[in-house]
Amino acid sequence: MEIDEAFLPFNEMMQKMLEIDGELFTQEKDIHSYVYEFEVNSPIELDIIVDETGKVKLGIVPPLYRVETSFRPSYHSITFKADKFEK
């Protein structure tokens, strides 16, 4: 059993977040910025699957839609924080 295709596997999301090299620039405006740390806090929906070997797979996605109901849906919250480390 696989996670819902609308969800991104948790490990892929972490890899994409960490691909930021820390230098943002535009040659046209001669502007440079250096990012040493960042933090992202977001509500998320989870898709939790346990495969036939007992391995847990997590899929995450920002809330896909908002539906007015007599009770509020419960979203999870996740915070990512990355600090640049140099030897």
pLDDT per position as a tens digit, 16-27: 777 777 777 777
Residue-level length of the chain: 87
Is 70 a member of any domain?
A: yes
Is 28 a member of any domain?
A: no
Is 27 a member of any domain?
A: no
Considering its fold, how many domains does the chain have in total? 1
CB atoms closer than 10 angstroms to residue 10: 18
Is 26 a member of any domain?
A: no
Contact 76, 58 (CB under 8 A): no
Is 56 a member of any domain?
A: yes
Q: What angle do CA 38, 42, 43 make, to 5 degrees?
A: 165
Is 3 a member of any domain?
A: no
Contact 1, 49 (CB under 8 A): yes
Contact 45, 10 (CB under 8 A): no
Q: Supply the pLDDT for residue 32.
A: 80
Domain hosting residue 39, numbered range: 8-20+35-83
For the question of whether the overall pTM of this predicted structure is more than 0.75, the answer is: no
Q: What angle do CA 24, 62, 14 make, to 5 degrees?
A: 50
Q: Supply the pLDDT for residue 39.
A: 83
